[in-house]
Amino acid sequence: PELAAVGGGAAPTVSTQETTAMSTPPTSDEACKMSQSVLATLMCAQAPGRSVYLSNRGNSLRQHRGILQEGFAQYVVNKYHDTNNPDGIINMGTSENKLCYDLLYKRLTHPDMLHIDPSLLQYSDSRGHAFLREVVAEFLSHYCCSPNPLKPDNVVVMNGCTSLFSCIAAVICDPKDAILIPTPFYGAITEDLHLYSDVKLFHVPLDCEADGKDSRAFHLTVGKLEEGLKRAKEEGLTVRALILMNPHNPLAEIYTPEEMFAFLEFCKRNELHVIVDEVYMLTVFDKSVSFHSVLSVDSLPDPQRTHVMWGLSKDFALSGIRVGTLYTENKDLLEALAQLGSFHSVPGSTQHQVAQLLQDREWIDEQFLPENRRRLKAAHSYLAQELQSMGISYLDRPACLYVWADLRKYLRESSFEEELALWRSFLRHKVVLSCGQAFFCSTPGWFRFVFADQQHHLQLGQFRTQRFLMYSRPCCKEPESKLRLESGCGFQISRGSI
């Protein structure tokens, strides 16, 4: 079957049956709202009953359910293990890098990590210990290619980017205010902003098909941001900010400096804060592709409203360490965040370990980053070949820990209910994936496949996935003699060459 690995203007092929089902498709905005409606209905149906012991807010928190959380919860209680639980669940849904534990173990058990000082056992500055903020400023100055040294006083350290999202929303928004975000996006940000701060995310849907105006699928433009802002205002919402992820989750898109600057200019014109999530900035595994941080811009359009997040969860495969950082030149914002810092602080001993790690340039540049990128590239290539062999199209991007794949041809009808049924079927077959509506994608049928795991785990996950799709959801497309892969530059591969 033909496979379009979407990129550089190539769009996935849609079967005749799918075209018929979508003869009068809803707009992206309507489809996005349909996705939210289906998800809300599902979660209400599964939520526990109301408790007389809790407040309205407490009941709302207790009853909240999300697809990402549900899949992970089932995985936690039934994890696959090579010997102890070979029938357990393979997790290809959670964006974690499981390829470099040997490198991390060796470095994290080095004697310099075991230092204990009285100050580490006492309360620290609510923004993080001064020594760590100095190291973070130096680290970001170097790896973000900042034209001038970044200032430690402009750094905030909290226990993960989840906390940073929540706290930023609390200090720049009032309850019921809104923040713009293009869809699809990492869906858990919804909880980050809503559960504590009661801030709404207003979606700017991106089309999965490239058209005459777009050069590629899921293409974000200033025009789409302008349209989204206009719609939000027409609905009576007060919009305070825009969230941008670069590299992107789940698309693995890397925005060019020109694109990012245009987005920043849009925010300046409309007096919006822009929160730039760069947690995958070092997770680019193709030397021919460059990432450019917002912090590399010599003169930001609106530095007082530009805030850049980074953490160790993705780039250093340390999601369990729970350390996220924010860089901003806005002193008022820094003072407000400091008031919330005590709720989200990082243990002193962990701050010491992170500082030791980030200032060890020799280990980072000569050992960890090269080997991590090599392993990621190999794992990505393996998954890409497996998807190609199944005739599944995907976005071909050399970054992040996942690929965004098009499973629309396996839906019996083009609906979010059917997408959810497919997701649940994967889970019953002991594979966790993440479906598009968990990322508020406006088109049903897209899934995120995480590849940053040991190859034998990927092989088993792909075997279970392929076996289910082949025997339970046979593809309606007729097989063809060639397998076509279109990436940014475009090339063809015959079936025998893989």
Last residue of a domain, one of 325, 346, 363: 363
CATH number of the domain where residue 475 is located: 3.90.1150.10
Whether 28 is in a domain gets the answer: yes
The answer on 168 and 221 residing in a single domain is yes
The answer on 246 and 198 residing in a single domain is yes
48 with 458: CB under 8 angstroms?
Answer: no
Predicted confidence at residue 418, as pLDDT, reads 96
Whether 66 is in a domain gets the answer: yes
Predicted confidence at residue 65, as pLDDT, reads 81
Q: Which residues contact 41 (CB under 8 A, 6 or more apart)?
A: none
Predicted confidence at residue 46, as pLDDT, reads 64
Last residue of a domain, one of 347, 363, 379: 363
Helix (H), strand (E), coil (C) string for 224-282? HHHHHHHHHHHCCCCEEEEEEECCCCCCCCCCCHHHHHHHHHHHHHCCCEEEEECCCCC
Whether 107 is in a domain gets the answer: no
Predicted confidence at residue 24, as pLDDT, reads 45
**DSSP code of 25?**
P
Whether 90 is in a domain gets the answer: yes
485, β-bridge pairs: 491
In angstroms, the Cα distances linking 335 to 167, 283, 329 are 12, 31, 11
Domain region containing 372: 16-101+365-488
Q: What is the pTM of this model?
A: 0.87
Tokens representing residue 410 in the block:
């396996």
In angstroms, the CA 88 to CA 78 distance is 5
Tens place of pLDDT for every residue, the chain, 498 residues?
333 444 433 333 333 333 333 344 456 666 666 656 655 555 555 678 999 999 998 998 888 888 988 999 999 999 999 999 999 999 999 999 999 999 999 999 999 999 999 999 999 999 999 999 999 999 999 999 999 999 999 999 999 999 999 999 999 999 999 999 999 999 999 999 998 899 999 999 999 988 766 568 999 999 999 999 999 999 999 999 999 999 999 999 999 999 999 999 999 999 999 999 999 999 999 989 999 999 999 999 999 999 999 999 999 999 999 999 999 999 999 999 999 999 999 999 999 999 999 999 999 999 999 999 999 999 999 999 999 999 999 999 999 999 999 999 999 999 999 999 999 999 999 999 999 999 999 999 999 999 999 999 999 999 999 999 988 777 644 333 222 233 333 322 222 222
Place of tokens 């010997």: 83
Whether 1 is in a domain gets the answer: no
Query: Which of 130, 164, 391, 173 is CA-nearest to residue 278?
Result: 164
Helix (H), strand (E), coil (C) string for 311-351? ECCCCCCCCCCCCEEEEECCHHHHHHHHHHHHHCCCCHHHH
Three-state DSSP class for residue 127: coil
Tokens representing residue 31 in the block:
């489809």
The answer on 313 and 288 residing in a single domain is yes
The answer on 215 and 258 residing in a single domain is yes
Amino acid at 459: Q
CATH number of the domain where residue 274 is located: 3.40.640.10
Whether 299 is in a domain gets the answer: yes
Number of domains, the chain: 2
The answer on 290 and 179 residing in a single domain is yes
The answer on 156 and 174 residing in a single domain is yes
Strand order in the sheet with 402-406: 393-394, 402-406, 446-450, 434-435
CB atoms closer than 10 angstroms to residue 37: 12
The answer on 404 and 307 residing in a single domain is no
Amino acid at 450: V
CA 271 to chain centre: 26
Whether 494 is in a domain gets the answer: no
The answer on 468 and 391 residing in a single domain is yes
168 with 181: CB under 8 angstroms?
Answer: no
Predicted confidence at residue 496, as pLDDT, reads 26
Q: Is the dihedral of CA 42, 47, 50, 53 positive or negative?
A: negative
Query: Per this entry, what is the length of the chain?
Result: 498
Last residue of a domain, one of 331, 363, 395: 363
Predicted confidence at residue 487, as pLDDT, reads 34
The answer on 35 and 137 residing in a single domain is no
Query: Which of 112, 48, 54, 75 is CA-nearest to residue 434?
Result: 75
Predicted confidence at residue 11, as pLDDT, reads 38
The answer on 371 and 332 residing in a single domain is no
The answer on 407 and 281 residing in a single domain is no
Predicted confidence at residue 473, as pLDDT, reads 77
The answer on 390 and 338 residing in a single domain is no
